[in-house]
Amino acid sequence: MTPGLLHYILLALGVAATIIAHPTPRIDTSTDLPSNSVHQSGGKHHIVLFDSTLPNQPSIDDVLSRLGLYPEHEDVVNHFNGSGFRGFSANMDAHCLDALAEMSDVAIVEEVANVSMVETRSTAPWGLERISSAGTISGNPGTLNFTYSFDTGSGLGAGADIYILDSGINTQHVAFQDRAQVKVLVGSVEDGTGHGTHVSGIAAGMLVGVASRANILGIKMFEDNGTGSSDVALKAVGYAIDSHMARRNQTGFVGSVMNMSWRVPKINAMNMAIKAANDAGVHTIAAAGNDAEDACTGSPASSGGTGGNGITVGSIDISNAISKFSDTGSCVDVYAPGSNIVSAYIGGDNVIRPLTGTSMAAPHVAGIVAYLMTANQSLAQDPPAMKAFLKDTGLRDVITGPTLPGDPRILVNNGIRGK
């Protein structure tokens, strides 16, 4: 390095030039920095890249020396000295960052971020591959021959609360470990039909589910023979809101999502209850309905799409075709796997079986919402933001088959774009 260059650099930093007699100002002990150094230990790890559009990029040594650093300094972690780009990473605090901001030949200064691996689970139902990849999927949908990809850093919904307003849950099933509890509003403590167990397995089961570390809070609102009524459904929504409010102040609370895989003809009381839940920060997921008609004619489905801040889910099959039975239209937000979905069931603690319906599509989205609540705090208690995020990150132009007007035709995705 020439003295002239050093002089120029120090002026650029606004630091009084000090004559350094030694031609290469290397200091051997990092605690003994030169007096003109702007470097102080203890800062955060940052990546610095030089402007690669310049005909003559500076050398790593040059830029480090402007900061009172050199390549072997203990706070310098990496050198990027290849042909594609040049720079370094180092632990630096405000003094260095301010100085770098003034350097015209430095293009990028960014704090180092954690990169989490995409983990895969290779014995999964097809629905989990569908929501975690971008390509087409083939195989026998009744098997567990598919691959679920997720971000290891996501937490898989750890700490998020999923309310399953359904027929109860077989809480002893191995898919749930000790994560599932049930509040009984009608009937016995058992899941008489298996529907709630299956839905819970898709949302949050081990092996068969999306958010495999979330809390599962069943609210039993169907009789053991599978019948239900809207007054009990309303009570169930109210119970979930109260539980959410009480949980909100507990340590470790992340957020709440309510899955409703049932449908009644549109009733205002139900839509008002869903609005109250959304206003309280509870995400609500509704099955579109299985009558191949307009989802807006039912509740709670009509609280989704353009109808409110709820999220309404239609069903597709393994070839991305809209399931023949699925309701569609402007009250639908996204589509998810619903045809031939293998999940946990009743009759034993390890029984699995396939079921079909928009009831199977909705919990895929409930699981993704739980997954996103844990991964992204800014979405955790903001239903409109979550709804927008799901639509933004979904796959467009891949769904086939007819829909009623106003349907956005988006295939939900967990944000992983494997394949």
Ligand X SMILES: *[C@@H]1O[C@H](CO)[C@@H](O)[C@H](O)[C@H]1NC(C)=O
Report if residue 381 touches ligand X, rule: CB under 6 A. Answer: no
Report if residue 287 touches ligand X, rule: CB under 6 A. Answer: yes
DSSP-derived letter for residue 17 is: -
Q: Which stretch binds ligand X (CB under 6 A): 18-26, 125-133, 257-265, 326-334?
A: 257-265
Q: Which of 170, 215, 261, 413 binds ligand X (CB under 6 A)?
A: 261
Between vectors from CA 338 to CA 337 and to CA 341, what angle results, nearest 5°? 90
State the Cα–Cα distance between residues 69 and 13, nearest whole angstrom.
14
Helix (H, G, I), strand (E, B), or coil: what is residue 4?
Answer: helix
Report if residue 140 touches ligand X, rule: CB under 6 A. Answer: yes
Q: Which stretch binds ligand X (CB under 6 A): 22-30, 259-267, 273-281, 325-333?
A: 259-267
Report if residue 368 touches ligand X, rule: CB under 6 A. Answer: no
State the Cα–Cα distance between residues 402 and 294, nearest whole angstrom.
12
Q: Which is nearer to ligand X, 1 or 17 (CB)?
A: 1
DSSP string for 327-384: -BSTT--EEEE-SSEEEE-SSSTT-EEEE-SHHHHHHHHHHHHHHHHHH-HHHHT-HH
Q: How far is the CB of 285 from ligand X (least distance, A)?
A: 7
Report if residue 56 touches ligand X, rule: CB under 6 A. Answer: no
- Residue 45's identity, in one-letter code, is H
Residues in contact with ligand X, shown as a per-residue x/- string from 337 to 366 under the rule CB under 6 A: ---------------------xxx-xx---
Q: Which is nearer to ligand X, 17 or 291 (CB)?
A: 291
Q: Which of 246, 324, 348, 396 binds ligand X (CB under 6 A)?
A: 246
Between vectors from CA 296 to CA 191 and to CA 356, what angle results, nearest 5°? 40
Q: How far is the CB of 405 from ligand X (least distance, A)?
A: 23
Q: Which is nearer to ligand X, 24 or 104 (CB)?
A: 24
Report if residue 391 touches ligand X, rule: CB under 6 A. Answer: no
Report if residue 225 touches ligand X, rule: CB under 6 A. Answer: yes
Report if residue 255 touches ligand X, rule: CB under 6 A. Answer: no
State the Cα–Cα distance between residues 300 and 284, nearest whole angstrom.
9
Residues in contact with ligand X, shown as a per-residue x/- string from 68 to 97 under the rule CB under 6 A: ---x-------x-x----------------
Question: 49: which strand partners?
Answer: 87, 108
Q: Which is nearer to ligand X, 191 or 294 (CB)?
A: 191
Please, which residues have CB within 8 angstroms of residue 388's CB and are 6 or more apart in sequence?
A: none
Query: Which residues are tagged catalytic?
Result: 166, 195, 359
Sole residue written with tokens 């295939």: 411
Contact 168, 182 (CB under 8 A): yes
b/e burial code for range 89-98 (CB count within 10 A of at least 16 → b):
bbbbbeebbe
CA 215 to chain centre: 16
Q: How far apart are the first and last CA of the chain?
A: 49
Q: Which is nearer to ligand X, 17 or 144 (CB)?
A: 144
Report if residue 245 touches ligand X, rule: CB under 6 A. Answer: yes
Q: How far is the CB of 251 from ligand X (least distance, A)?
A: 12
* Count of residues near ligand X by CB under 6 A: 36
Torsion of CA 318, 321, 325, 329, to 10 degrees: 130
Q: How far is the CB of 356 from ligand X (least distance, A)?
A: 11
Q: Which stretch binds ligand X (CB under 6 A): 161-169, 272-280, 303-311, 327-335?
A: 161-169
CA 237 to chain centre: 24
Q: Which stretch binds ligand X (CB under 6 A): 173-181, 208-216, 245-253, 396-404?
A: 245-253
Report if residue 131 touches ligand X, rule: CB under 6 A. Answer: no
Burial of 347 (0-12, 13-18, 19+ CB in 10 A): exposed
List interacting residues with ligand X (CB under 6 A): 60, 71, 79, 81, 113-114, 140, 143-145, 164-166, 195, 199, 223, 225, 227, 245-246, 249, 259-262, 287, 358-360, 362-363, 376, 378-379, 385, 389
